[in-house]
Amino acid sequence: MQTERLKSIRNSFDQHFGGKTQIIVRAPGRVNLIGEHTDYNEGFVFPAAIDREMIVAASSNDSGTINAYSLDYDKDDSFNLSDIQHSQEQGWSNYLRGVMDTLQKGSYPLKGLNVVLSGNVPQGAGLSSSAAYEVAIVTVCNILFNLGISKKDVALLGQKAENKFVGVQCGIMDQFISALGEEDAALMIDCRTLDYKTVPLRLSASGHSIVITNSGVRRGLVDSEYNARRQECNLGTKLLSELTGRSMTSLRDATLSDLEKHSSSLPDKVRRRSAHVVSENQRVLDAATALQAGDIASFGRLMNESHISMRDDFEISCPEINVLVELSQNFPGVAGARLTGAGFGGCTVALVSNDEVERFKASVIPEYETKTSKKAEVYVCTATAGASTIERA
């Protein structure tokens, strides 16, 4: 599949800009196996990079202008590095604009670029198509202009572009796993220190697959309640700091004991938001331990518990997702299933016995579509490496 996409990208580049590319890079999307809305609370997450990616072909030019063509949207855009503005007309271009603006404000020396972009990470599904886009662009600039940016800083610059320019207050997880993911493994990331531990998935040994199902409910993070959840978590941190007399910089510093002791003093919504984050952090730690021990049953149970917490305490699920998760959890051969991503639609992730994957698709998906009138898509994924160069002239 990638071979055909590369051929199309090369042809498009030649048609739009003439000649060959100097560089082609890829950056993957991701699935978070467990640990939702903990990243911006300086907690723990457990994502894997997946075999869906953004591919960017580019060559430098001396014009000071960024000329871009999106193969997916069949649209062109141009802007000058001396005047980077948010575009209302070319929404797909704002991630590119944001990265270039962020690099310039970081005093990285840039030149003009001719760029062709194409991605197969489903958009609006919670698999981090935007992070893959941002990481791919930073990687192109890093290599072409010899910027000397570490992989961790590639992730941080991508996150900053999304926070400051695009306007989505995402945490670091999505860009981090896109930049630093490892093949056949997940990363348990400490979002406070950015330390991480590679945890081999060993799913082939256990006879399971990562099965992601797109619910068909499209999310829009900028227009959703995502930023509201961040504000509620910040309020929980502030109130718990006051109630416990301990200085807390995030909900990472709170314990379940703190919540039990002071629950009656917290607004109900803030208490439940905080309870999700604190308990989810512990689930991530327990899940990594379970996978290292090859205990798929315990890992699946933690996935199921995570979904209940997201549904009831953090309230980021929706009726369609709940139907899909319930059908998945009740299907033979499924170790566990949950909402994955920021919520309000998007995808579920399940660990499914290899022997049952085809029957899962043939049974669960039609029943889901009948119950919800939504069209679902299933992606059976493998864990891949993070951003890398496909070819360089």
| pLDDT for res 225 | 78
| pLDDT for res 1 | 64
| pLDDT for res 345 | 87
* Residue of higher predicted confidence among 3 and 326: 326
Mean pLDDT value across residues 275-301: 96
* Cα dihedral: 270, 273, 276, 277 (round 10): -90
CA pair distance 78, 90, nearest whole angstrom: 10
Mean pLDDT value across residues 298-321: 97
| pLDDT for res 273 | 98
* Residue of higher predicted confidence among 178 and 127: 178
| pLDDT for res 247 | 97
Q: Which two tokens stand for residue 348?
A: 């579920």
pLDDT tens digits, residue range 138-166? 999 999 999 999 999 999 999 999 999 99
| pLDDT for res 222 | 43
The 10 Å CB-count burial string (b at 16+, else e) for 181-202 is: bbeebbbbbebbeeebeebebe
| pLDDT for res 19 | 84
User: Where does the pLDDT of residue 169 fall: very low under 50, low under 70, confident under 90, or very high at 90 and above?
Assistant: confident
pLDDT tens digits, residue range 20-33? 899 999 999 999 99
Strand 388-392 with 377-381, pairing: unpaired
Pick from 43, 126, 38: which is nearest to 317 by CA?
A: 126
Mean pLDDT value across residues 98-102: 98
pLDDT tens digits, residue range 4-16? 999 999 999 999 9
List the chain domain ranges.
2-200+384-392, 203-381
As its CATH architecture, domain 2-200+384-392 has 2-Layer Sandwich (3.30)
State what percent of residues in the chain have pLDDT above 70. 98
Q: How many helices (H) and strands (E) does the chain have?
A: 12, 12
User: Where does the pLDDT of residue 220 fall: very low under 50, low under 70, confident under 90, or very high at 90 and above?
Assistant: low
Q: What is the mean pLDDT of the chain?
A: 94
Backbone angles phi, psi at 267, to 5 degrees: -55, 145
pLDDT tens digits, residue range 349-361? 999 999 999 999 9
| pLDDT for res 370 | 98
pLDDT tens digits, residue range 237-267? 999 999 999 999 999 999 999 999 999 999 9
CA pair distance 107, 6, nearest whole angstrom: 32
CATH of 203-381, one of 2.30.30.60, 3.90.1150.10, 3.40.50.1700, 3.30.70.890: 3.30.70.890
pLDDT tens digits, residue range 181-209? 999 899 999 999 999 999 999 887 889 99
| pLDDT for res 8 | 94
pLDDT tens digits, residue range 42-82? 999 999 999 999 999 999 998 999 999 999 999 999 999 99
Mean pLDDT value across residues 267-283: 98
Contact assessment for residue 5 and residue 25, using Cβ atoms and an 8 Å cutoff:
no
User: Where does the pLDDT of residue 176 fall: very low under 50, low under 70, confident under 90, or very high at 90 and above?
Assistant: very high
Contact assessment for residue 137 and residue 108, using Cβ atoms and an 8 Å cutoff:
no
Residues with a known catalytic role: 174
